[in-house]
């Protein structure tokens, strides 16, 4: 996948997964949010906040993985990870479980 568009000026994208053709879920260094990018419309379509645990410093070491059996229509779940734990994210409803 070649990404020639610029969505985050002067920022480092640490991880990205393509969950649908031309639709990405992106982790950015030094940012506690995940971003959903629509490459056809050339926009950041949604921002998902991680919500760190109370008393924990911000974790900026994020990763995202499609769960085995991922299917946008029947099983739209992605595993999100940081230094403190794991969360399941529903790509369709854009909600953390």
Contact, 7 vs 22, CB < 8 A? no
pTM to 2 decimals? 0.79
What is the reported pLDDT for 16? 87
Say yes or no to pLDDT of 1 above 70: no
Q: pLDDT tens digits for 71-97?
A: 999 999 999 888 778 889 999 999 988
Three-class SS of residue 4? coil
What is the reported pLDDT for 77? 96
DSSP per-residue string spanning 27-57: EETT-SEEEEEETTTTEEEEEEE--PPTTPP
């Amino acid at each position: 996948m070649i990404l020639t568009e610029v969505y985050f000026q002067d920022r480092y994208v640490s991880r990205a997964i393509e969950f649908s053709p031309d639709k990405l879920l992106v982790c950015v260094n030094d940012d506690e949010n995940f971003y959903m990018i629509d490459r056809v419309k050339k926009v950041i379509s949604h921002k998902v906040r991680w919500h760190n645990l109370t008393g924990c410093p911000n974790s900026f070491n994020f990763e995202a993985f499609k769960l085995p059996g991922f299917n946008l229509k029947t099983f739209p779940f992605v595993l999100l990870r940081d230094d403190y734990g794991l969360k399941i994210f529903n790509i369709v409803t854009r909600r953390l479980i």
